Amino acid sequence: MADILPAEGIVLHIWSGLWDLSSFEPHSMAAVLYLQLAIPGKFRVAETSNPDTSPSGQLPYLVHEQHVVSTLPSIIKYVSDLRNADHTQYPNANLDANLTPSQKAQASAWAAHAESHLGDLVAHALYSVDDNWTKMTGPALASMYPIPQKYYVPRRIRTSYHLKLDAAGLWNALVEEKPEDKPFQKEKIHATQDIKSNPKVTGAFEKQKVVEKVRTELNLYQELLGTKTFLFREHPTSLDVIIAAHFILLLEPPYPDSLVKDLLAESYPSLAEYARRVHDLAFATGKPAIQPISPSFSLGLLLPSWPNRSATTRKPLDPEDIQFNRMRWAFFGLAAGAFATYIAIVFKDVEIKIVRAEQLEAPLKDSDGSESASL
């Protein structure tokens, strides 16, 4: 935990900000929004790209004096409890203080739904869509890491979302439409031909599946919000913060493929306005003090067997993981080989110099075997 700042006040450690946003990760953004609304001006933000600095191996986490709190729900609870500990200094720390028990139960259920379902939509837009990954997310993540991590850590982050998005029907859903070798040749598609054999038809079919999936989720939240300014009260609660963080990450990044972004902005303008209302209110008093942590070389990120402390079970390696491991072992092999070669050359050069010195210092002998004066 070398990156933890000195225990002065409250320090919130989050995934680094990108695209003029406080963070590119929903939980980190939600944590910033919550603290901005609950204890504005009373905390600092430390941006990092290494979750292994956290006790749980996850970001965000919060450091306050001798306390270290990890995961978004725990951070919200800890900050909320500050109101009871010191009401004078933290009078508005608990955004859910005025909710009824029934409303708190509803908020917990909807928060879990948002983190799962809206989280899938954000991950799909950032990691699954090829154009967004190759032209926006991948290069942005690579810029956060030094060599050699920048060449494989972003792809590992992307791969970590594969299984969940695939199960939700949102992994690689948008198929790139490539031009045919003969653009003027018309091909007849027989009725018995598999629809997936035609990339254009497949692309349109997959896009429609994504649209239907997105509409299903957004319809729920449009009904939940209705005509209200915020979900429960006249001021945002923790649930407003969590939902708004996900919507902002669907609306604001400069997605090259903006299918989900456009759908949310054009077909659900009330949700877009709601998310921006929460976001703007959070930053109405200004942005928090930010102390970026420069990317550090982490040997753990290089080791092929480095464990993810947040994982409870180890998944079987997929072909991409195997390739990464081979590349990293090759990196170590090349480094070790280069070092060994360097040592061999150095020692050989030293040995040659020693031999030459001994030859120069040895007394010269005449042809009859008698010693002559040395040079």
The per-residue pLDDT for range 85-109, each reduced to its tens digit, is: 887 888 999 999 999 999 999 999 9
Residue 351 has pLDDT above 70, yes or no: no
Question: Given this model, what pLDDT does residue 87 score?
Answer: 76
Per-residue pLDDT tens for 220-279? Answer: 999 999 999 999 988 999 999 999 999 999 999 999 999 999 999 999 999 999 999 999
Say if residue 283 is exposed, middle or buried (CB neighbours under 10 Å; 0-12, 13-18, 19+): middle
- Which has the higher per-residue pLDDT, 286 or 321? 286
**Interval 307-334 mean pLDDT:** 50
Whether the Cβ atoms of residue 169 and residue 117 lie closer than 8 Å to each other: no
Crossing angle of helices 26-38 and 72-85, in 10° steps, is 10
Angle of CA points 75, 77, 78, to nearest 5°: 65
Model pLDDT, residue 85: 82
| Model confidence band, residue 302 (pLDDT cutoffs 50, 70, 90) | very low
Look at strands 61-64 and 10-15 and give their pairing: antiparallel
Name the pairing type of β-strands 289-290 and 43-48.
parallel
Band (pLDDT 50/70/90 cuts) for residue 52 is confident
Q: Which residues of 298-336 are buried (b: 16+ CB within 10 A; e: fewer)?
A: beebeeeeeeeeeeeeeeeeeeeeeebeeebeeeeeeee
Query: What is residue 332's predicted lDDT score, i.e. its pLDDT?
Result: 53
pLDDT of res. 66: 87
Residue 69's H or E segment, with its range, is: strand 67-70
Question: What does the radius of gyration of the chain's CA atoms come to, in whole angstroms?
Answer: 29
pLDDT at 195: 44
Q: What pTM value is reported for the model?
A: 0.72
Q: For residues 264 and 185, which has the higher predicted lDDT (pLDDT)?
A: 264
C-beta of residue 231 within 8 angstroms of C-beta of residue 277: no
Pairwise pLDDT comparison (220 vs 289), residue with the higher score? 220
pLDDT at residue number 164: 93
The two tokens of residue 81 are 């409890």
Q: Which two tokens stand for residue 363?
A: 């007394």
Return the domain boundaries, the chain. Answer: 10-307, 318-366
Per-chain mean pLDDT for the chain = 79
Position 131 pLDDT exceeds 90:
yes
d(CA 8, CA 19): 29
* Residue 289 predicted with pLDDT over 50: yes
Least confident of 40-49, 228-237, 336-345: 336-345
Top-confidence residue, 179 or 105: 105
pLDDT of residue 118: 97
pLDDT, position 230 = 96
User: Residue 79: pLDDT above 50?
Assistant: yes
Report the pLDDT value the prediction gives residue 228, as an integer from 0 to 100.
95
Average pLDDT score over residue span 318-328? 54
Strand pairing partners for 47? Answer: 14
Please give the DSSP secondary-structure letter assigned to residue 8. S
Residue 108's pLDDT is 96
What's the whole-number mean pLDDT along residues 105-129?
Answer: 96
Q: Percentage of residues in the chain with pLDDT exceeding 90?
A: 54
* Of the ranges 4-8, 248-252, 302-306, the best mean pLDDT one: 248-252
Task: For residues 108 and 342, give the distance between their C-alpha atoms in angstroms, rounded to a whole number.
Answer: 61
Inter-residue contact 62 to 69 (CB < 8 Å): yes
Taking alpha carbons only, the member of 289, 288, 292, 264 closest to residue 34 is: 288
pLDDT of residue 56: 86
Placement of tokens 């349109």 in the chain: 204
What pLDDT sits at residue 310?
Answer: 39
Tokens 């009725």 appear where?
191
Residue 14 to residue 291: CA distance in whole angstroms: 11
**Taking the alpha carbons of 131, 132, 136, 142 in that order, is the dihedral positive or negative?**
negative
pLDDT reported for residue 191: 43
C-alpha distance from residue 283 to each of 78, 97, 233 (Å): 21, 21, 19
